[in-house]
Amino acid sequence: MLLLTGAAVALGARPAAAMTADSARSLIQNAVDDVFAIINSGQPPAQMYQHFERVFARYADVNIIARSVLGPAARQVSAAQFASYKAAFQGYIGRKYGKRFREFIGSQIKVEGARPLKSYYAVDAVAYLNGRAPMAIEWHVSDKSGQVLFFNLIIEGVNMLASERAEMAAMLARRKGDVAALTEELKRAG
């Protein structure tokens, strides 16, 4: 074991670099650029939603978001049940927010800067939508999963995690706590 550790050191193995304001800001700029490429692609909505889901999977900490949104029930399901729920949740988010992103056609989001906040970075942006007042957006970015990913989004004070958590709690309550039934609903919802 000591020999393997020594070999790793000799080969230059080292921990991943810590997240910086620049890496957090860059993540969000790349996500915004990808979203606008989809919006301006002229594709049919169903194709756009699939692409939005891929953007979400690439830039968001889907595991943390899905677990947080599911709440206490996430600790009571098997790994397989959670994996099914997470996949359905990812598709649901792609469809739900993909429909909202269509409002951004001809608009822009300006990513401004990043600042440390608690144990993560807040990346500030402003959305300039056609015919509407500018909207403040704050993305929360962390590297706790080992990658720099966003885990929350606050638009004009509306917290995505809190909103989705309340919605999932209501959907789960209607299914009497049955996560499998919730998973099936999420496959169609959004």
DSSP-assigned letters across all residues of the chain: -HHHHHHHHHTT--PPPPP-HHHHHHHHHHHHHHHHHHHTT---HHHHHHHHHHHHHHHB-HHHHHHHHHGGGGGTS-HHHHHHHHHHHHHHHHHHHHHHHGGGTT-EEEEEEEEEETTEEEEEEEEE-TTS--EEEEEEEE-TTSS-EEEEEEETTEEHHHHHHHHHHHHHHHTTT-HHHHHHHHHH--
pLDDT at 45: 85
Q: Domain boundaries in the chain?
A: 17-188
pLDDT digits (tens, 9 = 90+) for 48-94: 889 989 999 999 999 999 999 999 999 999 999 999 999 999 999 98
Average pLDDT over residues 139-146: 96
Average pLDDT over residues 17-33: 93
pLDDT at 2: 37
pLDDT at 20 over 70: yes
Q: How far apart are CA 185 and CA 136, in angstroms?
A: 32
Q: What's the whole-model pTM score? A: 0.84
pLDDT at 136: 94
**pLDDT-derived band of residue 137, with 50, 70 and 90 as boundaries?**
very high
pLDDT at 43: 86
**Chain CA centroid to CA 105, Å:** 21
Residue 184, both tokens: 């099936």
Domain 17-188 has CATH 2.60.40.10: no
pLDDT at 17: 55
* HSE-up (13 A, CA, CB side) for residue 71: 15
Cα–Cα distances in Å, from 57 out to 26, 102, 115, 116, 136? 17, 19, 24, 24, 23
Residue of higher predicted confidence among 97 and 114: 114
pLDDT at 1 over 60: no
pLDDT digits (tens, 9 = 90+) for 26-55: 999 999 999 989 988 888 888 988 998 999
Amino acid found at 3: L
pLDDT at 10 over 80: no
Average pLDDT over residues 119-134: 93
